[in-house]
Amino acid sequence: MSTLVVIGAQWGDEGKGKVVDAVAAQADVVARFGGGNNAGHTLVVDGRKIVTHLVPSGCLYPGTECVLGAGMVIDPDVLADEVAMLRGFGLLAQDELRVSLHAHVIFGFHRDLDGAREDLAARGPRAIGTTRRGIGPAYEAKAARRGIQVRDLYDRATLRARLEQNRDALAPELERLGCGNAIDVDALMKAAEGWARFLEPTICDASAVCHAAIVAGRRVLFEGAQGALLDVDHGTYPYVTSSNTTAGGVCTGLGVGPTAIDAVWGISKAYATRVGAGPFPSRLEGPLADRLRDTGGEYGATTGRPRDCGWLDLVALRYAARLSGMTGLCITKLDVLAQLGHAEICLAYEDGIDPGRDGLALARPVLRKMDGWDDPRLASDLASARSYEALPPVARAYLDVVTEAVGVPIALVSLGAERSQTIFVQRPFESR
């Protein structure tokens, strides 16, 4: 087995950075297939906190190739800052970063449009809660066939024509929304010259890079962004991101055929969180929600926004597992429940609501209180566990409930932010 997909199984923020970092230690290539800098991976290594938004988590391992795929939308200024930060730590050598020629570029007018639309929506009931990073407008341009790919940065005539096309298409809306920044084609052409120079050593056909690695038997980790329930086709639409976040996004976002995928691991916290608007059946309110948020440090790595918190929703998790054909579950932040001293879990929805058929807007959770989480010794017992067998019985019972309800075995358990606080139940890149 040489390929593994790791994706979020909730609404994002599941601890993907730490899990992908742990798995990437055994990978030769880490390739990201979708999204942009609306995602954030927080990595803690030897007490040092590193936050990445575009570069895959394999960047922490010398010799690991990091690939940004065609399904991504890339802000070159953000990427340049991130690369400079990583190289300041002695990470990500020049030949370890590869950027797809087919990826789309985020321009300033995409960010302006995103922010202005969100400001307008915030005055009414239609706010989505975007990160204002220009992600949606860049994907919108892609679908409208006026998007600008990385390859267009090297064709000045095509680039100017595309920029003029965007100026003509967007000027009326930008004016209506009161954006003071008009699309200055000449200024953007000049900025693009610098982007092209920065990106030139990295550009590639990401599909060919991944294919060659797979044929050579190298271990390839496909990294997702956001979470399965934010998928533009299968998530809680319209409160979703603008790309495909399920495992199928690997095929379209990296040009890899489905028969090349050996296994899919989905990441879920031991509870649930969500940022932005949209349905969240197991959401908590009041002091308990505040305690859970503060105990888990639930504030966005990209925006700093406080996350809504709730109990683990096994109905939604089972739906996400089906969408991606998950073969393993990675449960993170089990230690937070021990520190909280209280745990409940959503086993079903009232009135038989089905997330695929009915959506989640009307779902009302049927909760079960999990016994034993008020034991004052539990937090220290979890902190010292380094194998599945060493987990306290109450923690193993909790994971058994998850496995039985979702129908997917546990692959990994995370008990804290440090690399050492990770228990592999299945070994990545090994045959099942």
Between 360 and 38, name the one with better pLDDT. Answer: 360
Contact 404, 329 (CB under 8 A): no
CA distance 69 to 81: 19
Do 312 and 233 belong together in one domain?
yes
CA distance 169 to 6: 37
Q: Does a structural domain hold residue 432?
A: no
Q: Is a pLDDT exceeding 80 seen at residue 90?
A: yes
Cross-strand partners of 66: 30, 97
Please identify which residue in the block is written with the tokens 């590193």.
Answer: 50
Query: Exposed, middle or buried, 288 (CB in 10 Å: 0-12/13-18/19+)?
Result: middle
Q: Does a structural domain hold residue 99?
A: no
Please compute the mean of the pLDDT values over residues 261-269 and round it to a whole number.
Answer: 97
| Reported confidence tier of residue 127, pLDDT bands at 50, 70, 90 | low
Do 280 and 409 belong together in one domain?
yes
Q: Which of 229-233, 249-253, 305-309 has the lowest mean pLDDT?
A: 305-309
CATH number at residue 157: 1.10.300.10
Give me the sign of the Cα torsion angle 72, 78, 82, 83. Answer: positive
| Reported confidence tier of residue 272, pLDDT bands at 50, 70, 90 | very high
The DSSP-derived string for 377-391 is: THHHHHHH--SSTTS
Q: Is a pLDDT exceeding 60 seen at residue 74?
A: yes
| Reported confidence tier of residue 267, pLDDT bands at 50, 70, 90 | very high
| Reported confidence tier of residue 1, pLDDT bands at 50, 70, 90 | low
The enclosing H or E element of 328 equals strand 328-332
Spot the catalytic one: 21, 28, 41, 335: 41
pLDDT value, residue 38: 83
Do 89 and 159 belong together in one domain?
no
Please compute the mean of the pLDDT values over residues 247-259 and round it to a whole number.
Answer: 97
Dig out the tokens for 270 from the structure: 């031991």
Domain boundary among 199, 227, 242: 199
Do 154 and 77 belong together in one domain?
no
Dig out the tokens for 165 from the structure: 């096309």
Beta strand 3-8 with 104-105 is unpaired
Contact 64, 30 (CB under 8 A): yes
Would you give the distance in Å from CA 417 to the centre of its chain?
17
pLDDT value, residue 126: 61
| Reported confidence tier of residue 132, pLDDT bands at 50, 70, 90 | confident
pLDDT value, residue 328: 97
| Reported confidence tier of residue 122, pLDDT bands at 50, 70, 90 | low
Q: Is a pLDDT exceeding 70 seen at residue 130?
A: yes
pLDDT value, residue 300: 73
Do 242 and 324 belong together in one domain?
yes
- For all residues of the chain together, what is the average pLDDT? 92
The residue segments making up the domain with residue 164 are 104-199
pLDDT value, residue 347: 97
Domain boundary among 199, 214, 249: 199
Dig out the tokens for 79 from the structure: 């990427």
CATH number at residue 357: 3.40.440.10
Do 255 and 317 belong together in one domain?
yes
pLDDT value, residue 277: 86
Distances (CA, A) of 245 to 232, 274, 385, 408: 8, 15, 32, 19
Q: Does a structural domain hold residue 149?
A: yes
pLDDT value, residue 142: 98
Distances (CA, A) of 389 to 394, 396, 399: 12, 8, 12
Distances (CA, A) of 414 to 11, 418, 424: 18, 9, 9
Do 212 and 318 belong together in one domain?
yes
| Selection from 265, 303, 327, 259 nearest residue 23 by Cα | 265
Q: Which of 171-180, 192-201, 378-387 has the highest mean pLDDT?
A: 192-201
Domain boundary among 199, 215, 246: 199
Q: Is a pLDDT exceeding 70 seen at residue 27?
A: yes
Do 138 and 226 belong together in one domain?
no
Cross-strand partners of 45: 48
In this predicted model, what pLDDT tens digit does every residue of 386-420 receive, in sequence order? 999 999 999 999 999 999 999 999 999 999 888 88
Q: What are the b/e assignments for 173-209, b being 16+ CB within 10 Å?
A: ebeeeebeeebebeebeeebeebbebbeebbbbbbeb
pLDDT value, residue 299: 86
Do 259 and 292 belong together in one domain?
yes
Dig out the tokens for 37 from the structure: 């800098």
Q: Is a pLDDT exceeding 70 seen at residue 123?
A: no
Would you give the distance in Å from CA 23 to the centre of its chain?
15
The DSSP-derived string for 198-243 is: HHTTTEE-HHHHHHHHHHTT--EEEE--S-GGG-TTTSSTTSS-SS
Q: Is a pLDDT exceeding 90 seen at residue 245?
A: yes
pLDDT value, residue 60: 87
Please identify which residue in the block is written with the tokens 């994706």.
Answer: 7
Between 123 and 148, name the one with better pLDDT. Answer: 148
Query: How big is the chain, counted in residues?
Result: 432
- Quote the number of domains for the chain: 2
Would you give the distance in Å from CA 52 to the centre of its chain?
11
Locate all alpha helices (DSSP H) within 362-427, ordered by sequence.
378-384, 393-406
Do 348 and 210 belong together in one domain?
yes
Do 319 and 220 belong together in one domain?
yes
- Residue 104 is a catalytic residue: no
Q: Is a pLDDT exceeding 70 seen at residue 301?
A: no
Please compute the mean of the pLDDT values over residues 350-373 and round it to a whole number.
Answer: 95
CA distance 156 to 190: 10
Give me the sign of the Cα torsion angle 53, 6, 363, 344. Answer: negative
Do 170 and 236 belong together in one domain?
no
- Residue 342 is a catalytic residue: no
Phi, psi of 218 (to 5 degrees): -75, 155
| Reported confidence tier of residue 119, pLDDT bands at 50, 70, 90 | confident
| Selection from 344, 363, 354 nearest residue 401 by Cα | 344
